[in-house]
Amino acid sequence: MEFLPIFYNLKNQLCLLVGGGEVAHRKASLLVRAGGRLRVVSPELGEEMALLVKQNGCEYRAKNYSVDDLDGVGLVIAGTDNVQVNIHVSEDARQRGLPVNVVDQPHLSSFIFPAIIDRSPLVIAVSSSGESPVLARLLRARLESLIPGTYGNLAKLVGRFRDQVKTRFGKINQRRAFWESVLQGPIAEMVFAGKNELAETMLKKLLDDTSTSEYTGEVYLVGAGPGDPDLLTFRALRLMQQADVVLYDRLVSPQIVDMCRRDANRINVGKANKKHTLPQEEINHMLVRLAKKGKRVLRLKGGDPFIFGRGGEELDQLMEQQIPFQVVPGITAASGCAAYAGIPLTHRDYAQSVRFLTGHLKNNTCDLPWDELIHKNQTLVIYMGLISINLICENLIAHGMPVNTHVALVERGTLPEQRVIIGNLGSLPTLVEQKNVKPPSLVIIGEVVQLHDQLAWFKGSSTSPVLPGKLNNECPKI
């Protein structure tokens, strides 16, 4: 993070603004809106600035900037069109340890202005750390259209009832659950519709009616997809930002874990080192224990929780203990890796069915129903197949699958470091060794693999060149 986003209380602080033109005026308006007192230094003032100075009773020094203009000041802004003056102001302010901003010159500034969405008392600030103010402004425009103008009223309503709710619900979890039901339900909708009085009546009623015991814990079993955070579902994201505790697997990428609520307790239950992995039993108990304490527990799993994810086992205990839960599907590795590697799992010409298999069976063997797998128009996707890759290839060949059947290995699929290794049934074991392929990797077997060269649009590394296929223009990734 280049800059720390903070919200600064300017009330009655004296701020120095050097410059009297349009640029300076924009900053002056902001400072005044935030309650700052203004000292404006400039030999002359533009029309707008002159008006602002007059209307707000600002101190105006009609002269060139000199260092004594900094006396008694708490914040400094330089917005002149003279580079030398701006540099002087920046250097002098820094020497005195004063926060300084030179408009559009992040390298001369100790703080920068974000793009702002003002729904006071709710204020949203967006910054590109000075890299691209235009991008920040575009994002602001998108947020503006997403966030109803009446959001400020909602914040005010919450503010009015904060103390009452605090008295009513002793525990922070209960208070959070109460506010979430207010802010995500019909009361918020009433405020957005401009019916503030009705919203207030509804809130009072909810406060009277809700029993404190209604807010017990629950568990969300959520699929986090194969790695790329863009592949999360909206619901996954919402629950990630709501949960008090997060239990996540080794397969869940750090960027995704980072998107969980800042103050949520995050527990890694599947460290890469096997010694530190929590046994499944222990995880099941932990879910129950935490939920019984009234926590909203997020069990975040790679891919889809119900595809080789042992999600079913985790739910058994919850059902037994009557703990409420919900399951959120995720994009499974097969879909994610196939799409990012340009391999359609089915295709009218090559495969009319697809089969997901695990290369790692319960008793540590790999005893798949080989005969059933030898079908010409079928795609096989093997999860956890790396350890038994020799055995898998040998058995498929022994049961009649042609040695030259196309195979793709996708390592760390959908992530920036994705590798796609193309070969055939005969060459795969050697390729795995030569290319030092590591888990998580997925094996895709079948004729559809041939389409990889035409359809790959993801810019991850690949052993075969990524040709500009016809999807190239339609799906730019970065």
Where on the chain is the footprint of ligand SAH (CB under 6 A)? 226-227, 251, 301-304, 307-309, 332-333, 337, 383-384, 410, 412-414, 439-442
39/412 with CB nearer ligand SAH: 412
Q: Sign of the CA dihedral 169, 174, 180, 181?
A: negative
Cα first-last separation, the chain: 21
261/412 with CB nearer ligand SAH: 412
153/388 with CB nearer ligand SAH: 388
76/252 with CB nearer ligand SAH: 252
Which positions ≥6 away from 441 have C-beta within 8 Å? Answer: 385, 386, 409, 410, 411, 412
Instruction: Find the catalytic residue in 204, 271, 376, 459.
Output: 271
Element (H, E) at 180: helix 172-183
Shortest Cβ 355–ligand SAH spacing (Å): 14
Instruction: Find the catalytic residue in 69, 92, 228, 249.
Output: 249
Shortest Cβ 360–ligand SAH spacing (Å): 8
Shortest Cβ 268–ligand SAH spacing (Å): 16
Residue 59 backbone phi and psi in degrees, to 5: -80, 130
Shortest Cβ 299–ligand SAH spacing (Å): 12
- Distance, in Å, from the CA atom of 26 to the CA atom of 335, rounded to the nearest integer, reads 49
Classify residue 70 by its DSSP letter: G
Two tokens, residue 392: 């898998």
- Distance, in Å, from the CA atom of 332 to the CA atom of 211, rounded to the nearest integer, reads 40
69/304 with CB nearer ligand SAH: 304
Q: What does DSSP say about strands 75-78 and 14-18: parallel, antiparallel, or unpaired?
A: parallel
Query: How many C-beta atoms surround the C-beta of residue 150 within 10 A?
Result: 17
295/301 with CB nearer ligand SAH: 301
Shortest Cβ 403–ligand SAH spacing (Å): 23
209 is catalytic: no
Element (H, E) at 223: strand 218-223
- Distance, in Å, from the CA atom of 230 to the CA atom of 223, rounded to the nearest integer, reads 13
Burial of 370 (0-12, 13-18, 19+ CB in 10 A): middle
Token pair 């702002």 in the structure block, residue: 116
19/226 with CB nearer ligand SAH: 226
Q: Is 357 in contact with 334 (CB distance < 8 Å)?
A: no
Strand order in the sheet with 245-248: 265-268, 245-248, 296-301, 218-223, 325-328
Q: Is 236 in contact with 259 (CB distance < 8 Å)?
A: no
42/441 with CB nearer ligand SAH: 441
Shortest Cβ 283–ligand SAH spacing (Å): 14
157/328 with CB nearer ligand SAH: 328
Rg of the chain over Cα atoms, rounded to whole angstroms, equals 30
Residue number, nearest CB to ligand SAH: 303
Shortest Cβ 336–ligand SAH spacing (Å): 6
Nearest to 356 by CA among 371, 342, 345, 343: 345
Two tokens, residue 304: 């889809």
Shortest Cβ 32–ligand SAH spacing (Å): 52
Shortest Cβ 164–ligand SAH spacing (Å): 44
Instruction: Output the CA angle 301-329-317, nearest 5 degrees.
Output: 60
- Distance, in Å, from the CA atom of 395 to the CA atom of 240, rounded to the nearest integer, reads 42
**Cα dihedral 18/21/23/24 (nearest 10):** 30
230 is catalytic: no
Q: Is 375 in contact with 351 (CB distance < 8 Å)?
A: no
**Where in the sequence numbering do the catalytic residues fall?**
249, 271
